[in-house]
Amino acid sequence: MRFRRNACWQDEHAFVHDASSEPVLAAVLIPIVVGSKGPTILLTQRTEHLEKHAGQISFPGGKVAESDVDREDTALRETYEEVGLSLDRSVLLGSLPEYDIRTGFRVTPIVGWIDGPVSFQIDIREVASTIQVPLEFVLNLDNYQLDCKDDGGKPRYFYRLPYKGHNIWGATAGMLRIFAIAVSDQR
């Protein structure tokens, strides 16, 4: 399956940078890893000492480097750096709409299909551990919860996807939800 991008795939509660801002461009890989127990989505738990998004659950990815040809190149490079998976463009299925994050990033989620088995060699400076969430769980929109926090007197809404004691929330849960909607649109 290749993704045909649809403008309706969005997170209606997501933060959006104003027109005058210059967000940092980034890309992540949403890796579908197919192993003996079926397809899973690979996520990383970030280390606690990082300046941005410390301890959070995220996708492999990061900001665009000058040497990157495009956002796909960024996602593949960062995946190699963070979890040791050397992949080429043949695994890529397409991209989802850009996703703005409050910390100043504009992220392009790239979806990839990886036939297992795979082994990871995580960069312990950035990644504390990997988490594999069953694809079936991610695709079930009933598993997502809408949460709210006070943001200086204004409500800030975001999605949460609790899984076996893991707190998948914010941009990661938002992008996973958009991914689930995109897959249901392709069926």
Query: Percent of the chain, pLDDT > 90?
Result: 61
- pLDDT score for 90: 84
**Is the omega angle on the peptide bond into residue 162 within 30 degrees of 0, that is, cis?**
no
Contact 94, 2 (CB under 8 A): yes
Sign of CA dihedral 136, 131, 14, 17: negative
47-105 pLDDT tens trace: 877 666 667 899 999 999 999 999 999 999 999 999 999 888 888 999 999 999 988 89
**Mean pLDDT, the chain, whole residue set:** 88
Note the pLDDT of residue 10. 63
* 8 vs 98, higher pLDDT: 98
Kindly state which CATH superfamily the domain 24-137 is placed in.
Answer: Nucleoside Triphosphate Pyrophosphohydrolase (3.90.79.10)
- Percent of the chain at pLDDT exceeding 70: 87
Tell which wins on pLDDT, 64 or 182.
Answer: 64
Residue type, 111: V
Measure the CA–CA gap between 143 and 155, rounded to whole angstroms: 22
* φ, ψ (nearest 5 deg) of residue 138: -65, -35
Span 118-130, pLDDT tens digits = 889 999 988 999 9
Tell me the whole-structure pTM to 2 decimals.
0.90
